[in-house]
Chain A
Amino acid sequence: AQSVTQPDIHITVSEGASLELRCNYSYGATPYLFWYVQSPGQGLQLLLKYFSGDTLVQGIKGFEAEFKRSQSSFNLRKPSVHWSDAAEYFCAVATGYSTLTFGKGTMLLVSP
């Protein structure tokens, strides 16, 4: 069965510093991979997705992610974090039948 691991429960980053959130997946076929962001009290917003082609994917709000098949990873990056990026981030993998399996999330805290 597919699974997603986000090894960091919380991460604190200084404003202006770079960010990398880790995501590892387990899925037998070619995965469809997603990153979602959730602000407090809000629903989930899609940041970016990978389903074929270029392994470096650009998303909204200046985020990017790189798919590495050899490492079963899909890490999310941002070169310079803003205070408004503080939120919870979820990595997810879609099965061929199109349900989504989510990781447990990483809470990003941004310090001044």
Chain B
Amino acid sequence: NAGVTQTPKFRILKIGQSMTLQCTQDMNHNYMYWYRQDPGMGLKLIYYSVGAGITDKGEVPNGYNVSRSTTEDFPLRLELAAPSQTSVYFCASRTGRPSSGNTIYFGEGSWLTVV
């Protein structure tokens, strides 16, 4: 019963480095999301995907890239890390069936610090 799994849980990056946050879900969900959470700001949507091969920008996409080659995986790429990307990142997923009531399931988060 894994649900949504994110790796790594913690990471420290130097300015200008690149990295990928991995996200996988085992619930056969069509929709997947990446959010970032900053203190006092709630969660902001970075990118989302409605199915394999389809991605779209959310509210704060600058500095990030995503891909969705399979239903299960939705990695988030940071190409040139900046201090402004220090945040907690959450991956989430949802089934496309209306009967789900739009419940979105979250991973446990990835804490990223850029120094």
Contacts and interface: CB of A to CB of B under 8 A. Distances in A.
A9 B40 CA distance: 8
B48 A43 contact: no
Task: Say whether chain A's binding surface is mostly helix, strand, loop, or mixed.
Answer: strand
B74 interface: no
A71 interface: no
B109 A43 contact: yes
Contact of A42 (B41, B102, B109): B109
Interface residues of A, number: 23
A36 B42 CA distance: 11
B108 A32 contact: no
Interface centre among A4, A46, A98 (most CB of B within 10 A): A98
Interface stretch (A14-22, A78-86, A101-109): A101-109
Contact of A44 (B40, B44, B58, B106): B106
B102 A32 contact: yes
Interface of A: 4, 9, 32, 34, 36, 42-46, 49, 51, 90, 94, 97-105
| 9 interchain residue pairs of minimum CB distance | A43-B108, A102-B42, A104-B42, A102-B43, A94-B102, A44-B106, A51-B101, A32-B102, A43-B106
Interface of B: 31, 33, 35, 40-45, 48, 50, 58, 90, 92, 94, 101-109
15 contacts: A9-B40, A32-B102, A36-B106, A42-B109, A43-B109, A44-B90, A45-B106, A46-B103, A49-B101, A49-B103, A98-B31, A98-B102, A98-B104, A99-B58, A100-B92
